Structure 1
């Protein structure tokens, strides 16, 4: 039988777990709505312009069709990092258009989405049962527990690297969209090296700003798993 202190701790853990589940549910809903919005809201001209700019950014031939892994990269870039003719991202436009339909907590969560970016992580442990992945970020070696959307975890093994968009929630973080597994750990080293070299010419450059500008190009250079 638990004493009063143990019951209090149990109640707190239970409460935080419930808040985590609700946050994950809201995150999934917002991401789904935003993805649908980007498809419906953008016209043909905007999509053609976006594809052209994306191909330029990753140095991919304009006339060749994008392989599946680059198409997935494009969809992430188009939703979060592409700037429309009006100078806004599709996700920020989604939040403006849905401001009267989303609750205040959902709008706050939506604002958190805007801060996310695709970054490299080393896999420490994968749990099929809980659909989570314990990872270490490539730059500062900080550890994060990431909840994954897919019911079947096939993203990689211990010691391998993945690129993903991490959304901080309550007790665990959430992987926004696809997780990109890379066939070689050399890519993560190349990303860090490129960041350090760029920082020599721009001391105020942040890891986030660098990855939002160069991350897709570097990730597009190798066929993903």
Structure 2
């Protein structure tokens, strides 16, 4: 009797479910940590910096959807007065409590940046889009029960994702962008991103500067 072949489809499904659980747990744990470690003075400083980078007024940051955009940038990209990011601080404090799988996910989240895309296809729980670097197609998906909305009609958007299991999972809001029709902004950013890629500095550059693309946020969609 021939040996039974492994069910790779079932294996893939099981592995994805485990990875998704780990990501959900990690995000939930980070939210709880933030509740006790968010410094009000840091947040005030962050709002002024965010306003400078995006052109959004301090008052507007308190309104929807800018409040959501600011909070995401604050917890993942903002560099504190002591020169570190909040998620870095969380990982260092919790390192001995995290499983190896969560440590790997944390590593991906540490470097994940806001990236611009061109929308190709919209589905109920996924967006297919082209990157600005090489026009490569990428399928971006959300976790089950995620609060991230994929209701977007703008041709361009900004978001953050990480490779979780076999999927590119979104961990940040999808921010619609309205860009000049002459494509000058896209060409400028594409050239800059390509140059940084060749210098092996793309991730760092986008981590620090991706937020400035919010200057072109299409908030009329809300």
TM-score band, normalised by shorter chain:
0.7 to 0.9
**1:159-179 Cα distance to aligned partner (Å, 9 max, x none):** 822211010122211001211
Equivalent pair of 2:179/2:216 in contact (CA under 8 Å): no
**Which residue of 13, 19, 24 corresponds with 2:15?**
19
Q: How many residues align?
A: 216
**1:160-211 Cα distance to aligned partner (Å, 9 max, x none):** 2221101012221100121112345859861441452687799737443332
Equivalent pair of 2:148/2:173 in contact (CA under 8 Å): no
> CA shift at 1:117, angstroms?
0.6
**1:46-87 Cα distance to aligned partner (Å, 9 max, x none):** 21122222222224445x342423222211211111111221
Equivalent pair of 1:155/1:162 in contact (CA under 8 Å): no
- Asked if 1:144 is matched to 2:138, the reply is yes
Distance 1:107 1:187, change over 3 A: farther
Equivalent pair of 1:199/1:205 in contact (CA under 8 Å): no
Distance 1:201 1:21, change over 3 A: closer
- Asked if 1:106 is matched to 2:112, the reply is no
Distance 1:183 1:36, change over 3 A: farther
Distance 1:31 1:201, change over 3 A: closer
**1:86-130 Cα distance to aligned partner (Å, 9 max, x none):** 2110001111122232212111111111111111122222332xx
TM-score norm. by structure 1 comes to 0.80
Equivalent pair of 1:134/1:146 in contact (CA under 8 Å): yes
In the TM superposition, 1:22-171 aligns within 5 A as 22-62=18-58, 64-66=59-61, 67-128=63-124, 131-149=125-143, 150=146, 154-157=150-153, 160-171=155-166
Over aligned residue pairs, what C-alpha RMSD do you find? 3.1
For structure 1, list consecutive stretches of 5 or more residues without a partner in the other structure: none
Distance 1:90 1:34, change over 3 A: same
More divergent stretch after superposition (170-179 vs 182-191):
182-191
In the aligned structure 1, how far is the partner of 2:133 from the partner of 2:21? 30
TM-score norm. by structure 2 comes to 0.81
